[in-house]
Amino acid sequence: MAEDRHGIGNVDSETLDAVAEALRTAETAVALTGAGVSTASGIPSFRGDDGIWERHDPADFHRRRLDADPAGFWEDRLSLREAIYGDVDPEPNAAHEALATLESTGHIEAVLTQNVDGLHDAAGTDRVIELHGTHRRVVCDDCGHRRDAEAVFEAASGDGDLPPRCDCGGVYRPDVVLFGEPMPDVAMNEAQRLARDSDVFLAVGSSLSVRPASLLPKIAAEADSTLVVMNYEETPRDGSATHVLRADVTQVLPAIAERV
């Protein structure tokens, strides 16, 4: 729905103005993004009705599976990649671009993301903290060498020699947090610090139901940050939010960026 003098969708113009003013006057503002930002680029959600985990068993992507059956893990990982991306090469949408603009103009400090698609980087955001890692890289389980994932996936799909291996002989794995693994300490510590230090915290396109990322807006609100929740569905943090925006994030974020 296009913006008019009344705002966007269910969000009135006064709310958009208030969020823009909060960003304009904030010393430190950060954004947390979830699947709702990626779905607008054609990437299916992992959770919820008809989500990826309705069609694929999360246990197939557990750390134990990689250790016990790396070839089987990779066979299922190739199937998962096809389910997520198919023949589409997703590109940043207006929400990604608006956040990149807000960072470039100095109105947000960083983007913390639960998404693993790399679209914030592609949109031009400089400081992206990838809480769950990224599908765009693989990492050797032995020596830690990282490389672009595309060539590895193409080779694995083409010759069927699984699992793909590093020059050191170790097994490559997607550079993401697998089931059964802890979140990366460096990323989470930095995200928690930014949440505590923020004057404004934007929670965008996330159900805020998956820990520990879901705790970040709670940390921000308890530190007296202005919490802004932008999500179509209700979240557990709505009650502590200063503003709750039920609208398309690809519309409200650009509208806010324009007002800032």
| Residue 61 marked in a binding site | no
> Annotated binding residue at 247?
no
Tell me whether residue 231 is annotated as binding: yes
- DSSP-derived secondary structure letter, 101: H
Q: Does the annotation count 107 as an active-site position?
A: no
Is 98 known to sit in a ligand binding site? no
Across 203-226, b (16+ Cβ under 10 Å) vs e yields bbbbbbebeebbbbbbbbbeeebb
DSSP string, 29-55: EEEEE-HHHHGGGTPPPSSSTT-HHHH
Nearest to 155 by CA among 78, 85, 98, 215: 78
**Residue 166 marked as a ligand binder:** yes
Question: What amino acid occupies position 2?
Answer: A
**Residue 66: HSE in the Cβ half-sphere, 13 Å Cα cutoff:** 21
Is 123 annotated in a binding site? The answer is: no
| Active-site pick, 107, 132, 135, 243 | 132
73 assigned to a ligand binding site: no
Residue 206 annotated in ligand binding = yes
Do 231 and 31 contact (CB within 8 A), yes or no?
A: no
Binding region for NAD(+): 35, 39, 46-47, 114, 116-117, 132, 206-207, 231, 248-249
Q: Return binding residues for Zn(2+).
A: 140, 143, 166, 168
> Which residues are known to be catalytic?
132
Q: Where is the binding site, in residues?
A: 35, 39, 46-47, 114, 116-117, 132, 140, 143, 166, 168, 206-207, 231, 248-249
Binding-site annotation: residue ranges for nicotinamide: 46, 116-117
